[in-house]
C-alpha cells in the first residue's frame, strides 16, 4: 500500500476531529435533559461523561462496532484493492467529520449513526455499485430509526403519566416521592444490570448461570436504591413545605438525584452505541495498513482516543445542542427529564443488545416529545421539532454525497 503511515495518521486525525464533533453534538444531546432540567452542575456532567462514556464503549460496544465495519457494504469485494477500501474509510470519516461540525455549529442535534451509515452507503455505491450494499441490514437500521423514537416517546409518555398519577398528582407529592424513589432507583439499577452489565461480562468471557445473573441483577438494583436513598436523605429540603409550590420544589430535588442515575445509564448507552460506531472506520484503516485486508480487530487505543475526543467535544462546544434539546423543545423539570431520559436509555440499550446501531439522539428527542405530549401539544415548540426532523431527513443523503466527493478527491490526490 502506498503511503501506509499517511493513511494511519490521516485516519486517526480525522477520526479524532469527528469524535470531537460527536461530543459537541451527540453527547451534548444526551446530556441536554440533565443540564436543561438543572439537575446537575457542568462539573458533575463532565465526570459522568468521562466515566460512563468510556465504560460503555469498552464494555458494551463490540457488537455495534462490528455491524458498522462489516454490515453495511460488502468489504470483502475489495480484498484485492486494500487502497481503495482505505480511501473509502477515510472518505467516510471526512464526510462524518464535516457534517457533525456543521450541525454542531448551528445547534442541530443530528446523529452520528445516520451520518456514518449514509457515508458508507455513498462510498459503497460509487465504488462497488448499488448491489454491493447490504440493503437488508440498512433496512433494519432504517426501521430502527423510525421505531426507536416512537418507542421512546411512548415509554416516556406512559412513565411520566404514571409519575403524575402516583407522585405529582397526590395531595402530598413530597411524601409520595420519598416513598416511591427507592423503587424507581431499583428499576434503574435492574435495567442497567440486565441490559449492560451482564452483556459486558459476557464480552469479557464470563458466562454466568441464570441464578448468578439474577443475583447480580437484584444486587445492582438494591445497591442503586441504597446509594440513591442515602443521597436523597442528604438533601437539604426547603422548610415550610406545607405550601404546594414548596412541595413541588422539594419533589424536584428528589428527582434531581434520580436524574444522576438515569444520566449515567444514558451516557453508558451512548458510549456502547454511538461512540462505538465511530471506531469502525478508524479500525478498518489500521487493519488495512497492517494486514492489507479488513479484519474484525477493535484496537483499545483507538476506542480510548475516540472516547477522549467525544468528552473534549462536549466540554468545549456542547452548549448549543444542549440548549436546543434541553430547553427549546419543551420546558423540562427534573421529573420530566427523568421520564424522558430513562425511556431513552431503555430504548437505546435494548437496541444495542441486538447489534443494530440506533440513534441515541433520535430516541432522546422522541422521549422528550413524549413527555411534552403528556402535558398537551401546546407544551411543545413545533418549530424547533420541525427543524430537528428536517436535519434528520437530510443527514443520510448529505453524508452520502460528501463521502462520494471526498473519495474522488482522495483517489485523485493519493493514487
Residue 112, C-beta contacts closer than 8 angstroms, at least 6 positions apart: 18, 21, 22, 25, 26, 96, 100, 274, 277, 278
**Which regions of the chain are under pLDDT 50?**
none
CA distance 267 to 272: 9
CA distance 370 to 380: 10
pLDDT at 70: 59
pTM for the whole thing?
0.84
Where does residue 292 fall: left (phi above 0), alpha (psi -120 to 50 degrees), or beta otherwise?
left
pLDDT at 181: 95
Q: Are 272 and 196 in contact (CB under 8 A)?
A: yes
pLDDT at 385: 79
What's the total number of domains in the chain? 1
pLDDT at 368: 86
pLDDT at 94: 95
Q: Are 343 and 152 in contact (CB under 8 A)?
A: yes
Question: Would you call 133 helix, strand, or coil by DSSP?
Answer: strand
CA distance 174 to 164: 12
Write out the residue range of the structural domain in which residue 350 sits.
4-414
Amino acid at each position: 500500500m502506498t503511503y501506509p503511515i499517511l493513511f494511519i495518521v490521516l485516519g486517526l486525525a480525522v477520526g479524532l476531529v469527528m469524535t470531537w464533533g460527536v461530543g459537541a453534538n451527540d453527547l451534548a444531546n444526551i446530556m441536554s435533559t440533565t443540564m436543561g432540567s438543572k439537575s446537575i452542575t457542568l462539573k458533575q456532567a463532565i465526570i459522568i461523561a468521562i466515566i460512563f462514556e468510556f465504560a460503555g464503549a469498552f464494555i458494551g460496544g463490540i457488537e455495534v462496532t462490528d455491524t458498522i465495519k462489516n454490515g453495511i457494504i460488502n468489504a470483502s469485494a475489495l480484498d484485492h484493492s486494500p487502497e481503495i477500501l482505505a480511501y473509502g474509510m477515510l472518505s467516510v470519516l471526512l464526510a462524518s467529520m464535516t457534517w457533525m461540525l456543521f450541525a454542531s455549529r448551528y445547534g442541530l442535534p443530528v446523529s452520528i449513526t445516520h451520518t456514518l451509515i449514509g457515508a458508507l452507503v455513498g462510498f459503497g455505491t460509487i465504488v462497488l455499485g448499488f448491489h454491493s450494499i447490504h440493503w437488508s441490514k440498512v433496512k433494519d437500521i432504517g426501521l430502527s430509526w423510525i421505531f426507536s423514537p416512537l418507542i421512546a416517546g411512548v415509554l416516556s409518555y406512559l412513565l411520566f403519566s404514571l409519575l403524575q398519577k402516583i407522585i405529582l398528582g397526590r395531595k402530598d407529592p413530597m411524601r409520595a416521592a420519598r416513598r416511591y424513589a427507592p423503587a424507581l432507583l431499583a428499576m434503574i439499577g435492574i435495567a442497567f444490570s440486565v441490559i449492560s452489565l451482564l452483556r459486558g461480562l459476557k464480552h469479557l468471557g464470563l458466562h454466568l448461570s441464570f441464578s448468578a445473573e439474577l443475583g447480580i441483577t437484584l444486587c445492582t438494583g438494591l445497591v442503586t436504591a441504597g446509594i440513591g436513598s442515602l443521597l436523597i436523605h442528604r438533601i437539604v429540603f426547603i422548610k415550610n413545605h406545607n405550601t404546594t409550590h414548596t412541595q413541588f420544589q422539594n419533589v424536584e430535588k428528589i428527582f434531581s438525584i434520580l436524574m444522576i442515575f438515569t444520566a449515567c445509564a444514558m451516557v453508558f448507552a451512548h458510549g456502547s452505541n454511538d461512540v462505538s460506531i465511530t471506531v469502525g472506520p478508524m479500525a478498518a484503516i489500521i487493519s488495512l495498513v497492517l494486514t492489507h485486508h479488513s479484519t474484525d480487530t477493535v484496537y483499545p487505543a483507538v476506542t480510548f482516543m475516540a472516547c477522549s475526543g467525544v468528552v473534549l467535544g462536549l466540554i468545549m462546544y456542547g452548549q448549543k445542542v444542549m440548549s436546543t434539546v434541553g430547553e427549546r423543545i419543551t420546558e423540562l423539570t427534573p421529573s420530566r427529564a427523568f421520564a424522558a431520559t430513562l425511556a431513552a436509555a431503555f430504548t437505546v440499550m435494548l437496541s444495542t443488545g441486538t447489534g443494530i446501531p440506533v440513534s441515541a439522539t433520535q430516541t432522546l428527542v422522541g422521549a422528550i416529545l413524549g413527555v411534552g405530549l403528556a402535558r398537551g401539544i401546546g407544551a411543545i415548540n413545533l418549530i424547533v421539532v420541525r427543524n430537528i426532523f428536517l436535519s434528520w431527513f437530510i443527514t443520510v443523503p448529505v453524508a452520502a454525497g460528501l463521502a462520494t466527493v471526498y473519495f474522488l478527491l482522495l483517489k485523485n490526490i493519493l493514487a
